[in-house]
Amino acid sequence: MPEDDDPIEIPRTLIAALRGGSGKTVVSIGIIAALCDSGKKVVPFKKGPDYIDAGWLAMAAGWPCYNLDTFMADDSLVCQSFLTHTRSHSSCKNDIAVIEGNRGLYDGLDVDGTTSTASLAKLLNTPVILCLDVTKSTRTMAAVVLGCLHFDPAVQIKAVILNRVAGLRHETILRKSIETHCGIPVIGAIPKLKSRDFPERHMGLIPTPEHGWANASISTAATVVKSHVNLDEVLRIAKTAENRPFSCTGHHVKTPSFHFNEKTESLNQFPEQFPDPPVRIGVIRDSAFQFYYPDNLEALEKAGAILTDISPLTDASLPEIDALYIGGGFPETHAKELAANESFRNRVKAAADSGLPIYAECGGLMYLGESLVLDQTYPMTGVLPIVFGFSSKKPQGHGYTIAGVDRPNPFYPVGAVLKGHEFHYSKVLEWRGRDEDMVFAMEKGRGILNGRDGISVKNVFATYTHIHALGVPRWAETLVGLARKVGRYKV
């Protein structure tokens, strides 16, 4: 962490809204892309655990988007992440960091707004631009903005962008009302965009790997922003944060959110006894499995892994690897193709049976099951004795999770507590395993079944809970250490 007299150099701003679905992601994408088109270098961040928005922001910026989540990682680690990634990118005065918030500005886990977008803005000492969905409203929006300004004066709301404006008369009334009664400028007024430019699925934008014309959509957003948002004002607001310290500046890094009781051993169960040679970890990454935090992949590389991308949609077999990491995604939209690749499915099953370390989250958990029942039954790998169905109406699990480890397994010590999140529409139709095969007791969240999560069989670990490497120290070292201990799976 920086010292008290060590300023945070990069200009920065945070795009917030009154609620989810207000269009702040499209506005953020447009601002980032428009600034890049003007020659700026933009470092994108996403507040919260969301993968899909982060993928769009990364594509708009041409740079990885890192998640800043004060539930899954402590404040000082979030500050450190922001500082590290802005400084590693920074090379000239054209740099700017743009953070997209999540949900409403003040929405958090409790009445104090813990983990809210506002709390992150204060933590990073960052000015806020408020994106307002002004559909079927005029002067009332001034009252709403005024309430936001007074609700927590420590939050630096510096400007407003009107979104989904009906026309010039609508814009004029809104602009005059807000600037007169609130004393902050309206720096943009964006008309309603057509849904075909940014189609949605489930609870957010469609993932970019599934959206063949993503670049065209981003270009559309950039064009709209250039025409309807004062980018000079965006830059001016961002520069007001230049050289301001964070609120956690000078503090020591606190104990991460993953914690142990007094009897718990370190997560690093395979320390220095297995020295230097790198291990090769396969990462199943394609349009079916795309939800990976850059921090997780980078943590594996820092721990000594060489990462190899693999696709069960196009590859016939596994390469020679020491472990396999299967992230989340939407396997249900690719069920036919996944089922058709029988050769690959059989290889994964054989590798698991041979003891290959496999770590799977959400969509990866589904792929390791016996089958996925949609319009028909699609066979999966059969590594785990579980059958999944799907609900298209509402999520079966959605939100932050807290999991206590209460049974032995190769990845997490008994007594540990993990903070993560879950988001899935799939549901368990049949489970033929044993209760003791699930090692997580869910203190918060639904998990797989009966308040439990984390199936551990041989060296396979599969869970609905997504973890973030910042909040789970030694996760990467443990997976790499286990891979090094077990040895290579050969085709």
362 classed as catalytic: yes
Distance CA 88, CA 107 (A): 31
Q: Given the residues 65, 148, 248, 362, select the one marked as catalytic.
A: 362
Cα distances from 175 to residues 19, 136, 140, 388, in angstroms, run 20, 15, 12, 51
Q: How many CA within 13 A on the CB side of residue 69?
A: 27
Burial of 277 (0-12, 13-18, 19+ CB in 10 A): exposed
CA separation, residue 211 to residues 51, 197, 214, 271 (Å): 15, 10, 5, 42
Pair 329, 207: CB distance under 8 Å? yes
The span from the CA of 230 to the CA of 17, in Å, is 18
Closest alpha carbon to 30 in 178, 155, 197, 148: 197
What region does 351 belong to: left with phi over 0, alpha with psi -120 to 50, or beta?
A: alpha
Q: Which residues are catalytic?
A: 362
